[in-house]
Structure 1
Amino acid sequence: MGSAFSHEAEYLKKKRSYEPLYFHPKAKGNQILLNDCFSRAERISTFHDGIVFTNRPIQPYEIITLRILEMEDKWNGGLRVGFSCLDPSNINPCSLPPFICPDLIAQSPTWAAVLPDQFIKVGDIIHFWVNNSGKVFLRTNEVKKFPLLGRVAVSSPLWAVLDVYGTTKAIELLTPMSKPCWPRLVTPKFKDEPQDFCFCFPDGDEEECSVCFYHAKNTWLFPCGHTILCYCCANRIFRDTAKCPMCRCKIELFYLQNKFTPADPSNFSSTSTIAVESRQC
């Protein structure tokens, strides 16, 4: 009884934590290479031994957001995603099987499914989560909400688990903001405003950001003109790939819809300098 209580208390402690989400640095397949931030997972060779876990438990309705970075056409099958009761901190990496499906599912309380091929293309952003009833859902560029699997044991701590399998060679974990963030101001137009001024707010009655699904859409991308992001996510994507998540067009400038910033060389230069500095982990 005491052990069970201690385990539950530790879970609740982790659940209240605001620790960022990234891939567990040690609990991974022997073909997986992680970057220094533990946000990018690449399978070095073969088509298997690509299992990765998140660093901490996932709460119900917490969205795990991924971007497909690289594909390999010479293999069959693709990315598998799901949840597991296995604490990755207690896993010996050498004991991990080569596949989530069916190996890890058969050996442990783990639930996972293969993503349909049409949902896996380079540059695609994928979101998945589990609800209080143990049902797992998926959102992508193509679909609003797609039921992926069910009967996940949400009464126990759950870590997200993924298998960088087959045609999927590299993925990146993009952590949605769980609460309003306080971004660094990147254009001369905003340089005189307070540094703790927040441009992003919960969506309320407005349309939600297509990446974090939390803040309201409020940012205009130039030159494609799409307004699918909040300022926080636009800032992060600009520093990362500088490509619009919808059309993959290069982002040269972004600004709030209600705070016009002229697209002149001085603004672009200032934004680009910070973007280069922020690419380092």
Structure 2
Amino acid sequence: MGTAFSHEAEYLAQKRSYQPLYFHSKTKGNQILLNDCYSRAERISTFHDGIVFTNRPVQPEERITLRILKRENGWNGGLRVGFSCLNPSNINPYSLPPFICPDLIAQSPTWAAVLPDQFIKVGDIIHFWVNNSGKVFLRTSEVKKFLLFDRVTVSSPLWAVMDVYGTTKAIELLTPVSETFRPRLPTPVFRDEPSEFCFCLPATDDEECSVCLYHAKNTWLLPCGHTILCHCCANRIFRDTAKCPMCRCKIEQFYLQNKSTPGDAWNFSW
């Protein structure tokens, strides 16, 4: 069974044919409030009882992407992330312990770690994933790849698990934008005229978008000039905060970029 799961996981990882990833709607800490689409989790009070799971198992090498939405001073420590063999659909939410570390780890096949404080500032986007060897890595706009912990059992289905703990008050799960849209002629996008089209292609080598880690970087942010995002993620961030994830500069415009000449619009032949 474990071998079959491994082969299926590898196939799905290659095809990127994942179902949408959300927080599990029922199994969560008793202080967690989810939004209507289960993409945002906020701890109502105290500093604990903030455990959340993903709605489905994640595959080896699949990135879980989070954005830090709120912090709360007065506590020590912050967000914990990891993986668990526990199927949240089979868990009574009232039986969840107040903490992932050490409670849930001690009680079940769960692996997790505290994130370093420098990675959990408001607005920060973090990615974490487990590879086929059971090593869990973290990536941010500041750190390319960081080994968080290892020895995760990958022979069984794994759900991502997070603990909205301490100074971390609210987080958001970000999912890749659908690739089913046909490309249209690119135009500059302004704050009051958001684009609804996707111009993105899968990335090669190290040219992936810093947010989704899948689409190629193809968008030029103005006025800061950074080119770290695909068009889909730039559009989403533009609508949300309008701040560059790297320098926090306000984004006034963003353009599709010619790969050979920064700043030039991407030319289409039809």
Q: TM-score range by the shorter chain?
A: 0.7 to 0.9
Partners of 1:64 and 1:176 within 8 A in 2: no
Partners of 1:164 and 1:170 within 8 A in 2: yes
Aligned counterparts of 2:102 and 2:114: Cα–Cα separation in 1: 11
Instruction: Show the counterpart of 1:260.
Output: 265
- How far 1:239 moved relative to its partner? 2.2
Aligned residue type for 2:89 = S
- How far 1:240 moved relative to its partner? 2.4
Structure 2 residue runs of 5 or longer lacking an equivalent are: 190-195, 259-263
Structure 1 residue runs of 5 or longer lacking an equivalent are: 191-195, 262-281
Q: 1:221 to 1:93 in 2, by over 3 A?
A: same
Aligned residue type for 1:33 = L
Aligned residue type for 1:169 = K
Give a deviation string over 1:51-109, Cα, whole Å, max 9, x none: 00000100000000111111111000110000000111111110100000010011111
> What count of residue pairs does the alignment treat as equivalent?
249
Instruction: Show the counterpart of 2:181.
Output: 182
The equivalences for 1:24-63 within 5 A come to 24-63=24-63
- How far 1:184 moved relative to its partner? 8.1
Secondary structure of the 2:26 match is strand
Aligned residue type for 2:77 = G
Aligned counterparts of 2:152 and 2:74: Cα–Cα separation in 1: 33
Aligned counterparts of 2:208 and 2:110: Cα–Cα separation in 1: 31
Aligned counterparts of 1:73 and 1:198: Cα–Cα separation in 2: 39
Instruction: Show the counterpart of 1:123.
Output: 123
Aligned counterparts of 1:34 and 1:236: Cα–Cα separation in 2: 20
What is the alpha-carbon root mean square deviation over aligned residues? 2.8
- How far 1:185 moved relative to its partner? 6.0
Q: 1:49 to 1:204 in 2, by over 3 A?
A: same
Partners of 2:27 and 2:53 within 8 A in 1: yes
Partners of 2:198 and 2:231 within 8 A in 1: no
Aligned counterparts of 1:90 and 1:198: Cα–Cα separation in 2: 37
Aligned residue type for 1:172 = E
TM-score w.r.t. structure 2 length? 0.84
Partners of 2:188 and 2:254 within 8 A in 1: no
Aligned counterparts of 2:52 and 2:186: Cα–Cα separation in 1: 38
Matched, 1:221 2:226: no
The equivalences for 1:64-213 within 5 A come to 64-176=64-176, 180=179, 182=181, 199-205=199-205, 207-213=207-213
Aligned counterparts of 1:82 and 1:60: Cα–Cα separation in 2: 13
Give a deviation string over 1:209-236, Cα, whole Å, max 9, x none: 1111222211011222111111111122
- How far 1:180 moved relative to its partner? 4.2
Instruction: Show the counterpart of 1:232.
Output: 232
Aligned residue type for 2:138 = L
TM-score w.r.t. structure 1 length? 0.80
Partners of 1:180 and 1:215 within 8 A in 2: no
